[in-house]
Amino acid sequence: MNQPNSLVLKCGDNLKFIQIHQINCDNLKNQMIPLQSLLKALKNLNQKGYMIFNVRTNNREEIETNAYFLDIKHDLDSNVLNIDKEINQLYDCELFKKSNPNVSNLYRILWRVNISDNFYTINNDADIFFTLNHFNFQDISKFNTQFVKNLQLNNVDYYRLKPNLFFIEEKIIFLILEDNNLKEIKKLLEHFFSQYFIFILILNQKEHSKLIESNEVGLLDNLKILNFKDFAMLDFLELHKENLLKNT
């Protein structure tokens, strides 16, 4: 059953209204918008629904990626929030666009094919999955851009001292490195250790392990050396709390 701008699902006396928003995958990649950031934005806007990513091959054996947000409501309010406008303004690009809500569209979004023995490489589109799932730990320049976006989204005060060095909440020095650059780490400690809490994130897991095992940098109360798993667990809204900053 169709309503203006909505698809209506009826089960007994219960009605659900579905609005389909197409997500621009090119802008997701180009703007390097993390999935966590997008989910947080939708949550902050009190939106409930499903985010769906379809990956398929076309007639030319090329990989195509399509993404949708199915906005589910239990009633229609004339003062309903314009999600497309809010999301697009937040990320300063056309990310969401309302799609024509008809049953055939919904079937195409939810349709699945049987499992087969055919395999395809998606190297050319792999960036979208790195970008969506967390941060792009494979490329430090992309990671730094995503890091800044995350600080801004969480309204965290920061000053960018260098492309990979940040002064956060007037108490934290945050250094991002691809590998175990001991010379740069020691230089940072000489300048800032006595004044601030220091976070050092090393994107390469092997290089992180090498630094920890070398004992070149000891365990200090106001120094934390992170790998990508540690970083994924970091809550930027809690950075001001002393118990998070200090080693236990």
Q: Which of 64, 76, 136, 65 is nearest to 101 (CA)?
A: 76
Please give the residue that has the higher pLDDT: either 32 or 152: 152
> Do 173 and 128 sit in the same domain of this protein?
no
For the chain, the domain total comes to 2
**Residue-wise pLDDT tens digits, 181-191:** 888 888 888 88
Same domain, 12 and 121: yes
Distance CA 158, CA 153 (A): 12
Token pair, residue 199, equals 């976070």
Mind listing the pLDDT tens digit for each residue in 44-63?
888 888 888 877 767 776 66
Write 231-239 long-range contacts (CB < 8 A, 24+). 231/135, 231/201, 232/134, 232/135, 236/150, 236/151, 236/154, 236/156, 237/154, 237/156, 239/156, 239/168, 239/169, 239/172
Same domain for 8 and 104?
yes
- Give tens-digit pLDDT for 122-173: 544 544 554 444 576 778 888 888 889 888 877 889 999 999 999 998 889 9
Is the model more confident about 78 or about 27? 27
| Domain final position from 113, 133, 153 | 133
Q: Could you give the percent of the chain with pLDDT greater than 70?
A: 73
| Nearest-angstrom CA–CA distance, 108 and 24 | 17
DSSP character at residue 204? S
| 118 and 152, same domain (yes or no) | no
For the chain, the distance separating the N- and C-terminal CA atoms, rounded to the nearest angstrom, is: 58
Same domain, 126 and 23: yes
Whether the per-residue pLDDT at 244 is higher than 70: the answer is no
174 and 107 inside one domain: no
Among residues 133, 160, 183, the one where a domain terminates is 133
Query: In which domain, by residue range, is 17 found?
Result: 2-133
Residues 21 and 114 in one domain: yes
- Average pLDDT score over residue span 212-221: 73
For residues 192 and 100, the model is more confident at 192
pLDDT digits (tens, 9 = 90+) for 95-125: 999 887 555 556 566 655 555 555 555 544 5
- pLDDT, greater one: 111 or 8: 8
14 lies in the same domain as 90: yes
Tell me the C-alpha to C-alpha distance, in Å, between residue 167 and each of 30, 120, 170, 174, 188: 26, 44, 6, 6, 12
| End residue of a domain, out of 103, 133, 163 | 133
Residues 12 and 80 in one domain: yes
Distant-in-sequence, close-in-space partners of 16: CB < 8 Å, separation ≥ 6: 8, 9, 72, 73, 74
Residues 21 and 93 in one domain: yes
Could you tell me the pTM of the whole model?
0.49
Looking at the structure, do residues 25 and 113 belong to the same domain, yes or no?
yes
Is 66 a residue whose pLDDT tops 50? Answer: yes
18 and 89 assigned to the same domain? yes
The answer to whether residue 242 scores a pLDDT higher than 80 is: no
